Structure 1
């Protein structure tokens, strides 16, 4: 009973760069390595079904989190819509897998957004509650789960991002930012931190005050995405030389 109670009411807050943070990262790495290593030894049907289940699990954690928030009377439409990129991509994963059949263009978009966003979130998590609070479980399920999902695609199915994919991902971000900006105007909200930076430490602290951090984020977005294309570019060049 105490464990079930702590899912709703954590006694301790999550401390960035603390022991729990480190343990969470190590645990996520172990889960990813074990899953991918095990799946590599299985038949293709198992590998595909595993990817499907992973997409459902990641997406469902966002939905269940929303149900918990509504049930506890905490859900606020100007704060809790799943518009943060990782949450939004998490909700889209089943569509990507089941409806769009892992379309190459969509793979590129989710690759750059997941790797670019989820890694930064894991390094500086905007997380208040510690384990086993449902907020903690949702945060790590989504961010670590997304990284495992995309690495699974790359390792098991040999999917590769493209250079053109950088620009498709950039355009997707622009469309999502524009939608969020209009919604912020309508709801007087701060989705994607377009009105003010987050209170916890983050990469945005290095980019100045409003609106300069927004402008700088847009300027550096393509070079930032290119960093995650670089390993594949170098590997292909080496392969061509051989």
Structure 2
């Protein structure tokens, strides 16, 4: 079968023209920001309207499933599926699959993984994409839809389902990531692959370029992940509904009562 049967937008041999922070990249980032902001601003209304909240939940599930299914269809149709590059063993691939399960079962166990590792990995991917194809290629659209959906899935569970992370869950997610990295490293060694970039840096520019040579950048990633998770946890503590926010409000109200 001719791999260009459906036009250059789907062809793996199309020119690899992606450049970071071009207008199309900026619009993809802006689209994610707008979706997250709308979810935050309308969270009370969504929670009070069951059909709306369920519709959003299943819309996210659908986008996540279609992202994984269509990607593998693209690999097969373009005759480029390869055990060294096509298995769902990248961090964002793992968190995408776990996001589907989290949304379907409203899993409190998977929620911290998606909130911290999912947002952390997907946000890095959105800002510094390891991507070859420019808009309107299928891979460009798939890349930003899939990573944005991971982030929005975590925010949905936080703002609509009202799950909350704890400081203990930060340590749990770090343990999960190290266990995952160990398993993926074993697979990389067996297949001669480079999933999760545990055997070398990506060929495209990324944040790893400033983190030192192999394998020091892996240790640097550990420190950055812990810092990011801690800052994200602190952010959720001070946002409305967070523990520090609630304590502050109670203290302020108590002080106001005493002054009356």
TM-score, reference length from structure 2: 0.83
Deviation at 1:49, TM superposition (A): 3.6
Larger Rg: 2
Distance 1:91 1:24, change over 3 A: same
Write out aligned runs for 1:103-182 (5 A): 103-182=107-186
Q: Does 1:240 align with 2:242?
A: no
2:219 equivalent to 1:212: no
5 Å-filtered alignment, 1:29-68, equals: 29-34=33-38, 40-42=44-46, 43-68=49-74
Task: Please tell me whether the aligned partners of residues 59 and 93 of structure 1 are also in contact (alpha carbons under 8 angstroms).
Answer: no
Aligned to 1:8, what secondary structure does the other structure show?
Answer: coil
Distance in 1, Cα, partners of 2:224 & 2:24: 32
More deviation, 113-122/150-159: 150-159
Shift of residue 211, structure 1, vs aligned partner: 1.1
- Range moving further from structure 2, 5-14 or 31-40: 31-40
- Cα distance in 1 between the residues matched to 2:148 and 2:21: 16
- Return the match for 1:81 from 78, 87, 91: 87
**TM-score of the superposition, structure 1-length normalised?**
0.89
- Superposition deviation, residue 96 in structure 1: 1.9
CA contact (8 A) 1:52 1:94 kept: no
- Comparing 23-32 with 178-187, greater Cα deviation is found at 23-32
Contact 1:58 1:142 in 2 (8 A): yes
Q: SS at the partner of 1:7?
A: coil
Instruction: State the shift of 1:137 in Å.
Output: 1.5
Q: What count of residue pairs does the alignment treat as equivalent?
A: 239
Alignment partner of 2:9 out of 7, 10, 32: 7
Bigger relative contact order (CA 8 A; separation at least 6) = 1
Bigger fraction of residues in helix:
1
Q: Following TM superposition, by how much is the alpha carbon of 1:64 offset from its aligned partner in structure 2, in angstroms?
A: 0.9
8 Å contact from structure 2 (residues 18, 133) kept in 1: yes
Structure 2: stretches of 5+ with no match in the other structure: 252-260
- Aligned-residue CA RMSD in angstroms? 2.3
Shift of 1:188: 0.6
Shift of 1:186: 0.9
